[in-house]
Chains A and B, each alone.
Chain A
Amino acid sequence: MERRDFLKTLGAASASLLVGKSALAKDAKPNEEFVGVLFDATRCIGCRTCEMACAEAHNLPLPDTDNEKIFETERKMSAHQWTVVNRYDTDVGQVFVKKQCMHCDEPACASGCLTKAMFKTKQGPVIWRSEKCMGCRFCMINCPFDVPKFEYDSPNPKIQKCIMCYERLQQGEIPACVQACPGGALIFDTRRNLLEIARKRIYDNHDKYVDHIYGENEAGGSGWLYLSPVPFEQLGFRTDIGTTPYPEYSKGFLYSVPIILTLWPGILLAISNATKANKEDIERGAKYE
């Protein structure tokens, strides 16, 4: 009985070793050609057409785009609004910035999701799959950009966030917001091309842009890239999130799992063996067994 038990423990331990390995292998896979969107803050006029297009494309409540007053306070995305445009008073005057999910190259939300409900697609968009989600909201804890929103007022809640119009992409279309943008502030392309365009714009117009593409390296890089005329902290961006892909942070712990599950049983059995020798102890112990 004891022997079989030990084998079982070993079996379970090695099974988890395999699981651990496949998890690491998946993370190590090189990026495929992700698509993304480049937002150029020097070209955004704050018309909020993108907000309207997004709401129409995803059956969300339509925003009141004529109301100029909403610019007075900084708005955040919500469970009913996947993208918002804010106005910032900066060194060079008023600058408008559109925000939505960043679609990270290695998203913290997806790597933390225990059911793969939050999912990084091969093309790049990070999507959410209702039938898998438990509603644990770990994605919200993990996302460094605070993007996923939860419907607290629903008995069958959804996680709400921009999905880069994944269904439209499947049909060969481009994201609704990019298509609707009248000012040319948004460009949809492969991430590689977007970075080239962005670099060229900075190179050609040194005085017009700060020399930084937000999203190139932030949190390991993201699908949405930003160009700005002023330092990004003036536009409500977090500049303290680092360049490490967020899944890296939990890797150390996940690495230790197979090690502990294989080493521990052996060590514990050995200690158990080493401590059982004393005959008096055995006799005393037998009273309790």
Chain B
Amino acid sequence: MNNLQTNKAPLKPELKRYFKFLLSELKPKGKLLTPFNVISAIILLTAAVLLVIRFAKGLGSITNLSQDFPWGFWIGFDVVTGVAFAGGAYVITFMVYILRREKYHPIVRATVLNGLLAYMFYAGALVLDLGKPWNIINPIIGNSFGVSSVLFLISWHFLLYMISEFLEFSPAIAEWLGLKRVRKVLNSLTLGVVIFGIALSTLHQSGLGALFVMAKAKLHPLWYSEFIPILFFVSSIFAGLSMVIIEGSISHRVFRKLISPKHHGEYKGIVLGLAKICAGTMFFYFFLKLLVLIHGQHWNLLNTPMGYWYLTEMIGFVLLPMSLYVKGLQSAHIPTIRVAAIWSLLGIIVNRLNISIIAFKWYAPNHYIPSWMEIEVTLAIITMEIIAFRWIVNRMPVFQESPLWESQQKESGSKDAKKYTEMITEEV
């Protein structure tokens, strides 16, 4: 849309209309002085001041990072945990576009949008943590490809995955702007992009775990295993879906008036379906963890302080939330499932922080504890994500129905769908 604004030639009436439309959409809708907005403004301003200090005086000025702990809260929570939380998008698109479980179609857009924003903001927070952020393009432009690095793979995958998620979400943008033909083209890309996105997700979700396989001498033996990448991948499934359940619950309250009554009716079934997958993958994850423990033969370490913490994670943050999911499923009780989802998310935080911070160099005399300023900046990033999400769902068809012209185009729905499936058949 930038070229619209910089175009010096006299604007055609059509373009002029768009320009006006965009300008009007940029303005905030609703009241400005709400409690949420005021608190957000304070958080964002504080973070802005902190970041000025950080970039003027170096990372040590606002973080508690040290030579012993080069990675802290910004990597351990923002990136390693945040990306797991964003795993919902690849799981939901897998179910809808590959398994064709149409039941989950209504939540695709919100989930993909959440995933996209999470990657943009949380993975984007990586920039704040880099010592030389102006060199961030080096692994991309090809003057120095460190192809043997797991981090190289992750940086490429983040970039490509953000593009895939943007393409997956782009039909909603086209509908917002009323670009009928563009939307048709974008829609036809969906299956290809989804497949690409799932392959990328598999690799970078597990890749975040693979970051720590070379830290063998530094990670506590109860957490170190060559299977960390697989464990990260499996846990990203229920981490992502638990996040979808929580985000859905919040959205259904906050954006109630945007959501059609029909969707409200379908919602319970969707949550129960997601809870079932969470419970199943958590069981699988627990089983894998058990195998890894048996394989590692470190029982003697279980009876140490770190061992107790390990057991707390295994029982308190995997087994218990899993049982709660099962309980909520048996009684089809949504509030129980919500609690289980929150508990699972806490479990993922515990697990990711264990591997990246707590069990990392557990032997160091002065262990890293994040400074309040690091946590403040993370809060600001989450706040910015929420604001972006709110801005988008208030304008684009994420929760509400697609515009009328779109459904009219699909009036002869089955015919179109048939053509669509024929196209795919040709391919194989």
Q: List residues of chain A with CB under 8 Å of any chain B CB.
A: 1-3, 5-6, 8-9, 12-13, 19-20, 22-23, 26-27, 76, 78-79, 108, 111-117, 131-138, 140-142, 144, 146, 149-157, 238, 240-242, 246-247, 249-250, 252-254, 256-257, 260-261, 264-265, 268-273, 275-276, 279, 281-289
Contacts and interface: CB of A to CB of B under 8 A. Distances in A.
A156 B132 contact: yes
Contact of A23 (B148, B192, B213, B417): B148
A269 B60 contact: no
Nearest to B228: A253
Contacts of B192: 2, 5-6, 8-9
B9 interface: no
24 contacts: A1-B188, A5-B193, A9-B199, A12-B160, A13-B199, A26-B147, A78-B67, A112-B150, A114-B152, A136-B151, A142-B214, A144-B217, A144-B218, A150-B67, A150-B131, A157-B58, A157-B59, A264-B199, A268-B94, A276-B100, A276-B424, A282-B414, A287-B413, A289-B416
Given A135-B130, A272-B100, A265 B195 contact: yes
Contact of A114 (B106, B155, B203): B155
B204 to A, nearest CB: 10
Contacts of A271: 98-99
Given A241-B217, A250-B214, A133 B149 contact: no
Contacts of B211: 138, 141
Nearest to A288: B105
B296 interface: no
A132 B422 CA distance: 49
A12 B191 contact: no
A260 B199 contact: yes
A249 B213 contact: yes
Contacts of B410: 286, 289
A242 B216 contact: yes
Interface residues of B, number: 84
B60 A152 contact: yes
Contacts of B188: 1-2
Contact of B55 (A3, A155, A289): A155
B108 to A, nearest CB: 8
A240 B106 CA distance: 53
Interface in B212-267: 212-218, 226, 229
A287 B102 CA distance: 10
B61 interface: yes
Q: Is the interface of B mostly helix, strand, loop or mixed?
A: helix
A249 B152 contact: no
A87 B340 CA distance: 55
B70 A253 contact: no
A264 B195 contact: yes
B416 A286 contact: yes
Contacts of B214: 108, 111-112, 141-142, 246-247, 249-250
Which of B56, B133, B199, B215 has most A Cβ within 10 Å? B199
A134 B203 contact: no
Contact of B133 (A135, A150, A246, A254): A135
A265 B198 CA distance: 9
A9 B199 CA distance: 10
Contact of B131 (A108, A134, A142, A279): A134
B425 interface: yes
Contacts of A6: 192, 427
Nearest to B104: A288
